[in-house]
Structure formats: C-alpha cells, structure tokens
Structure 1
Amino acid sequence: MDSIPLESTEEVKDLRVTIHRSLKPSSQCVKAAKKANMILGMIKRSLTYKSEDIIVQLYKHLVRPHLEYAIQAWSPWLVSDINILEKVQRRATKLVPRLYHVDYEERLKVLNLTSLKKRRERGDMIQLYKILHGVDLCNLSLNLKMHSATRGHSLKLAKPSVKKDVRKHSFTVSD
C-alpha cells in the first residue's frame, strides 16, 4: 500500500477468533479451552457445596459460551482439536461429586448434557435450515448447491468433491 510492503503474519485475530494461515482452528481451540478451563477452575475453587444443578447451570452460563463462541466460523474437524474442547466438558462433569467415577457418556446422560460435537452439528443444521427457509438472508447460488434429484423433497444438497480438508468439513460451497 503506497509502496510500503505489508507484513506477513501467521495468525490474525478478528472478533476474538484467531484465524491461522493454514485455516486450521487449532490455535482457536487451545485459546477457547484455556479460557474455559480458567473459569472452570474459578468455579471449582469458589464452591464448597457442589450440587448437580448448580454445577450444570454455572457450566452452561459461564464456561460453555467460551467453547462455542462463533463456532460456525472456526468449527474444528481434527480429532485433536475436538478432544481439546471436549476435555473441558469432561472436567466440568467431574465436578459433581457423585459422578466422579462414572464414565463420560453416562455423566452426560445424568446431567442432561450433549457432547460439544453433537451441539456443533445441531447448530450447523439449524443454521442451514435458516438459510434454506429465508430466515437468514444469504445468496444460495454462492454458498449452497442444491441437488437436482427428481425424487423426494426439493431441499437436498449436493455434496461437492473437494481437495482441501478445510473445505471438506464445511457445508457451504463457493465457486
């Protein structure tokens, strides 16, 4: 710009979301988990009576928002990134004393929680529904390719062939 060279950076932070040059969400996952773990530690240190209801409500209102902030923009697809986020929820469910030695899936069932991966998938489906039904205004020709099948309903999406992992795990397709 004006004959001044621009710096090259590895990461850019925009609206509290860190975007890496490779577009992998690993650094964002680590930062979100670190912040959520700090809050979870504060909850653990400050409570003497740890009832299920109190732990679940504090987790839902104080911790989980950090794990899911702008998740549609940086949704993790690598197993290591998914595990980093899920580990925070595992730790939160262990705060309930009577469930400490129960396996993770059973703790989720007892506390009426779902895994973060399932929540992300559900959020993606809700967002897609909103786009297809005109609740969120979006140019469909740029983002989604509809399948031109003759049977069934008209809202079938065509799955594109992609070469990069970044695009493989996204439901939108750009030309």
Structure 2
Amino acid sequence: MTRSKNPLTLDYKMKGEILTTVKSSKYLGVLITNDLSWEPHINQVINDSNKILGFLRRNFSRCDSRIKATAYQSLVRPKLEYAATVWDPHQSQLINKLEMVQQRAARFATSDYRRTSSVTSMLHTLHWPTLQQRRKKKRLMLLKRAINEEIAIDIPSYVKKPSRQQRNTNLHKYTPIFCRTQCYKYSFLPRTLNDWNSLPTETALSQKAAFEQALDTFIKSS
C-alpha cells in the first residue's frame, strides 16, 4: 500500500510463485485499496444496500409502516453500517450518497413517494437519526470501550492526556494527534479522539447506559 506517485515495484514470492499485484482486496468483508481510499468499498456497500431495498419494495409494498421499517433496520441498515468505524467517510459526496439510501427507505416505510413531501419529516416520524450520526456514535462508543479496556484494542502509548489540566472540565481530553495526510487525519483514532475531546466532561466520564443516552443527546444537538 502506498500513496506515492512513484512507488517502488517489488515482487513477492510464496512457494516459488510470484504473488499477483492487485489494486484492491476484500478482507473480512471490507474492500481495502492500495491507496487506502474507502470510496470503492462505500460504493459497493451502497449498491448492495440498494439491491436489498429494491427487493423489500417489491415484496413488502402492501405491508404496514412498522413492518417495512423493521425490514429496513434488519436487512439494509446493518449492510450500511458493517465495519463503519473503519471506513466512516468525511467527504460530503460519500456521506450524501449513503444518506440517500436511508432517505429512499424512509419513503418506502411511510409509503410516501410524493416529490413535495419532506424526507426530513419522514425520518423524524420514524425516529431514524442520520447514518452519519449513527457512525459517529459507534466510533465514540468503541473508543470509550477501548479506553476502559473492555475490548482488545490497545490505545497507543503516544495517545496521552495534556500534561497540565487547566480546569476540571478538561479531565477527559487527550492531546490531538498531529497528522500529515488527510488519510490519517480521518482514520479512526485521530478523528475519534477529536470528537471525544468535544464531548462534555460529564458525558465522557459517564458509564455504560448513561454514556450512550448522554451521547445520543449530544450528537442530536451538535
């Protein structure tokens, strides 16, 4: 993997056979590219999700709203969010393309395809937060569990709290990670640490269910 314009080309062998060089490869369901761009993976996720949503529209058209919403939440949204803590995009065009899948699902769930209807109102009626909000919540919850050593994700030694805490309101904050590239800046750890630092102290230091509830309130208001 490299982002260099003039990369070194080396041949790697296994059992005497030269390994084929590819631009992308799927690992645990996530498409990883040689330039660390998540756009191909996100486009694949969107295409697959639209196919499932199309299947639901063809076969559940006469069902009531509750069944349609449950079908979307059970079959489509998990596809849109699988491993999203890794590939959560920051580019507006990719964010909007993902949101459009849920917007189509909202029209399906409410059986309202009129151009004059507000999709935002439909999402509010269905109590569906945006997918971007859900991805942010999942990243912060994963970081919280890593900080508390509840999962096997080690926080690197270079992630430290400031040597001097100015006020009690800064007790949860960490020193931001300096990033030279956009790719690293918007990867999980640097990006989520910045989001973590923006949390109110009482939210960051709360535990389990209280943390999730406070996090929902903060993300909706931000």
Secondary structure in structure 1 of the residue aligned to 2:189: coil
Tell me whether 93-102 or 58-67 shows the greater mean CA deviation.
93-102
Matching residue of 1:124:
139
2:184 to 152, 158, 167: 167
Separation of aligned partners in 1, 2:158 and 2:72: 34
How many Å apart are 1:88 and its aligned residue? 0.6
Would you identify which runs of 4 or more consecutive aligned residues in structure 1 move more than 6 Å? none
CA contact (8 A) 1:29 1:84 kept: no
1:106 to 102, 116, 121: 121
Q: Show structure 1 runs of 5+ residues with no match.
A: none
CA 114–122 in structure 1, closer or farther in 2 if over 3 Å, else same = same
Separation of aligned partners in 1, 2:117 and 2:158: 43
Matching residue of 1:97:
111
CA contact (8 A) 1:52 1:111 kept: no
CA contact (8 A) 1:144 1:172 kept: no
Give 1 or 2 for the bigger CA radius of gyration: 2
Query: TM-score under structure 2 normalisation?
Result: 0.71
Separation of aligned partners in 1, 2:173 and 2:120: 32
TM alignment of 1:1-175, pairs within 5 A: 1=13, 4-95=17-108, 96-98=110-112, 100=114, 101-142=116-157, 144-150=159-165, 151-152=167-168, 153-172=170-189
Secondary structure in structure 2 of the residue aligned to 1:172: helix
Letter in 2 for 1:53: R
Letter in 1 for 2:105: A
Separation of aligned partners in 1, 2:41 and 2:162: 34
Separation of aligned partners in 2, 1:52 and 1:99: 14
Separation of aligned partners in 2, 1:105 and 1:145: 40
Separation of aligned partners in 1, 2:130 and 2:153: 29
Paired positions, count: 173
Alignment RMSD? 2.0
* More relative contact order, 1 or 2 (CA 8 Å, 6+ apart): 1
How many Å apart are 1:131 and its aligned residue? 0.9
Separation of aligned partners in 1, 2:160 and 2:96: 31
Query: TM-score under structure 1 normalisation?
Result: 0.88
CA contact (8 A) 2:52 2:75 kept: yes
Secondary structure in structure 1 of the residue aligned to 2:156: helix
